[in-house]
């Protein structure tokens, strides 16, 4: 299933967040489509396909002490307008 993740952190944690990103690897069962940093907002976004809740926890847990992660299921616009 397709998901959008946005992660917002306190600016004081920027160094720790960057260090985690350098070493973080998405689980093999997750297909990462894209991730971006919102400049000046202390927020990152990721779009990925994940099979289950366990995969979502593997993605968010390492960052859980540094900020708030929100995940929403999503579909492409093309899928949404199909009849």
Q: What is the CA radius of gyration of the chain?
A: 14
Structure tokens belonging to residue 32: 């990462």
Domain formed by 2-76, architecture: 2-Layer Sandwich (3.30)
Residue 17, classified by CB atoms within 10 Å of its CB into exposed (0-12), middle (13-18) or buried (19+), is buried
pLDDT at 30: 97
Residue 73 φ/ψ, nearest 5 degrees = -70, 150
| pLDDT for residue 29 | 97
Question: Which residue positions in the chain have pLDDT lower than 50?
Answer: none
Instruction: Note whether 71 and 4 are within 8 A (CB).
Output: yes
- Whole-model pTM: value is 0.88
CA of residue 30 relative to chain centroid, distance:
11
Mean pLDDT of the chain: 95
Q: What's the pLDDT tens digit per position in 51-66?
A: 999 999 999 999 999 9
**Which pLDDT does position 83 carry in this prediction?**
66
Domain ranges within the chain, ordered by starting residue? 2-76
Element (H, E) at 60: helix 53-60
């Amino acid at each position: 299933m397709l998901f959008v993740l946005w992660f917002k952190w306190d600016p004081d944690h920027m160094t720790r967040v960057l260090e985690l990103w350098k070493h973080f690897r998405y689980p093999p069962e997750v297909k990462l489509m894209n991730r971006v940093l919102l400049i000046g907002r202390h927020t990152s976004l990721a779009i990925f396909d994940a099979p289950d809740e366990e995969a979502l926890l593997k993605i968010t847990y390492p960052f859980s002490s540094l900020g708030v992660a929100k995940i929403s299921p999503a579909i492409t616009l093309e899928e949404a307008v199909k009849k």
